[in-house]
Structure 1
């Protein structure tokens, strides 16, 4: 093989953190006391599942008061209906005036509409009682529970933070590298440090580059398969392309390690000590020891 200098991608090693694409907050809709907490950190939940219950004794008292008002309104309606029928009978006999009948009809209409209004108010009270159930706004894992059993919460307070089970790697690169990254670029993802099994490197794809530089760094998200069992916030090594550089690449089979050194056989010269660099699947980079035009044999 005749040695030639090739252009290769210049990879920069950085750390990326595992993040959820979406983090949703389960909030309280009413003011009250947490009487039932059904989840803990790490619990997997489905969308719409009850994760806590908030009780407010005043809602039960308000509902009882509405029931009492409804019964009183129904009694008034019954009395107005009797008075309307009686006025109609007296009008037919000539013992009452039309004005009395109209007045009785008006009182009956008012009583009927008052009952409808109270029933609507009762439905609102029942709905508010049902809002004591805190439901998961989306499927995922519970990252943090912000309350404990018996805590007093206000309407709008956060009960739990839920991470949607759609994880990505979020990396921060120095702004001088911002011009090299773009959507669709491949990223080499290193092995997981928390794993006890050696896993080969894999590739991910840049799915989003944020158009804002913070503290001299540009933020980008990388889509990678198989992040479902990772911890949110776990750091993973990645290598991103930041341009190209010249390099000499030889097959791995041409390298002969002896006595702690790496040798390459050059025709008409013999074994030459080389310094190795970045390795690929079947090839490896030679940093020093060879030059263009050398004929390598193995």
Structure 2
């Protein structure tokens, strides 16, 4: 006695077909909602690309990173030196020494003048002149010290630092090169990685944030989530970002094949094991009125349903037909 089972498979998010029946002797065919997938290529991108730029002009005397290195925020990536700044420091130090010596002498003169003024030997105007000389020298020394701090700060800014933690993607300079302030020394990719894809605008209305995306990774397939769809269409293409857990950031810019859900349609699906081949044709055993006959069919795509291969039948089969799936 054959057992008959109704095929009723409903589409759920993140899967091609859900609710596929277990194999039985026969099954009644009903239309199944199938997701239409569009294969395209996406590129691995970093969420942020932060350039590390020179803050002063000069010669690169140390280059601490190369492409592929991992850096922390604030880590030095290069050192730029400007010899003119060192000469300025030396000149300021010499002036400070000279003014320091003058200040010592002026303070001694002021001390002597105060002693003489107490005895009425010099006038108050002369004492005030001595005090003014000390004040002027102290002001000049303070000004030179401030100027020295500015130059010292410029020398410190010769250290080129990584703005964020991440991977060094590009180092367009070399040690010994002369560089101007504002030029890029290194490009750091930060914030993790994602997939950036571009798809034809004809599919724009079928894309929704949160859709499950299939990504070919090595010999297997992993799933991602459509995280962002950009509203600007350029050259007839819509750009979107896909978040993928554990996506490798070893090669930024690497192209990865993905499949996007761009629509659904109804199809008649049968287990692949129900098909037989003979003379280059495909056959299905169909049961009707207690009799079994062979129908020539045209198979389409094969899809896995709960790990079981099902074949889409393009012609030769109608909804309601009872298909024999196994033979005694």
TM-score (norm 1): 0.89
Q: 2:259 aligns with which of 207, 215, 239?
A: 239
**Unaligned 5+ residue runs, structure 2?**
1-26
In structure 2, the residue corresponding to 1:63 is in which secondary structure?
helix
Aligned pair 1:88/2:108, yes or no? no
Query: Which residue matches 1:42?
Result: 68
Q: 1:112 aligns with which of 132, 135, 138?
A: 138
- In the superposition, relative to structure 1, how do residues 223 and 261 fare at CA in structure 2: closer, same or farther (>3 Å)? farther
Structure 1 residue 278 displacement after superposition: 4.4
Query: Which residue matches 2:205?
Result: 179
User: What do residues 32-64 of structure 1 show as CA deviations (whole Å, max 9, x unaligned)?
Assistant: 111112222222222222222212111111110
Structure possessing the higher radius of gyration over alpha carbons: 2
1:97 and 1:261 mapped to 2: Cα distance? 128
- In the superposition, relative to structure 1, how do residues 252 and 116 fare at CA in structure 2: closer, same or farther (>3 Å)? farther
Kept in 2, the 8 Å contact 1:191–1:236? The answer is yes
User: What do residues 208-243 of structure 1 show as CA deviations (whole Å, max 9, x unaligned)?
Assistant: 111211111110000012222441111111111112
Alignment of 1:135-154 (within 5 A): 135-154=161-180
In structure 2, the residue corresponding to 1:250 is in which secondary structure?
strand
User: What do residues 113-155 of structure 1 show as CA deviations (whole Å, max 9, x unaligned)?
Assistant: 2222211221222221122222222222222211112111001
Query: Which residue matches 2:158?
Result: 132
Aligned pair 1:265/2:285, yes or no? yes
Over the aligned positions, Cα root-mean-square deviation in angstroms equals: 2.1
Query: Which residue matches 1:295?
Result: 322
1:165 and 1:254 mapped to 2: Cα distance? 50
- In the superposition, relative to structure 1, how do residues 229 and 265 fare at CA in structure 2: closer, same or farther (>3 Å)? farther
Q: Which runs of 4+ in 1 moved over 3 A?
A: 250-265, 270-274
1:249 and 1:20 mapped to 2: Cα distance? 41
Query: Which residue matches 1:98?
Result: 124
In structure 1, the residue corresponding to 2:77 is in which secondary structure?
strand
**How many equivalent pairs are there?**
292
Aligned pair 1:54/2:74, yes or no? no
Kept in 2, the 8 Å contact 1:265–1:272? The answer is no
Kept in 2, the 8 Å contact 1:276–1:284? The answer is no
Kept in 2, the 8 Å contact 1:249–1:283? The answer is no
The answer to which of 7-16 and 99-108 deviates more is: 99-108
User: What do residues 55-74 of structure 1 show as CA deviations (whole Å, max 9, x unaligned)?
Assistant: 21111111101101111221
Query: Which residue matches 1:286?
Result: 312
Query: Which residue matches 1:276?
Result: 300
2:298 and 2:260 mapped to 1: Cα distance? 26
1:226 and 1:15 mapped to 2: Cα distance? 18
- In the superposition, relative to structure 1, how do residues 219 and 97 fare at CA in structure 2: closer, same or farther (>3 Å)? same
User: What do residues 227-279 of structure 1 show as CA deviations (whole Å, max 9, x unaligned)?
Assistant: 22441111111111112212123345545567876554322324654413141
The answer to which of 35-44 and 57-66 deviates more is: 35-44
- In the superposition, relative to structure 1, how do residues 240 and 90 fare at CA in structure 2: closer, same or farther (>3 Å)? same
Alignment of 1:195-274 (within 5 A): 198=219, 200-255=220-275, 263-267=283-287, 268-270=292-294, 272-274=296-298
Alignment of 1:65-80 (within 5 A): 65-80=91-106
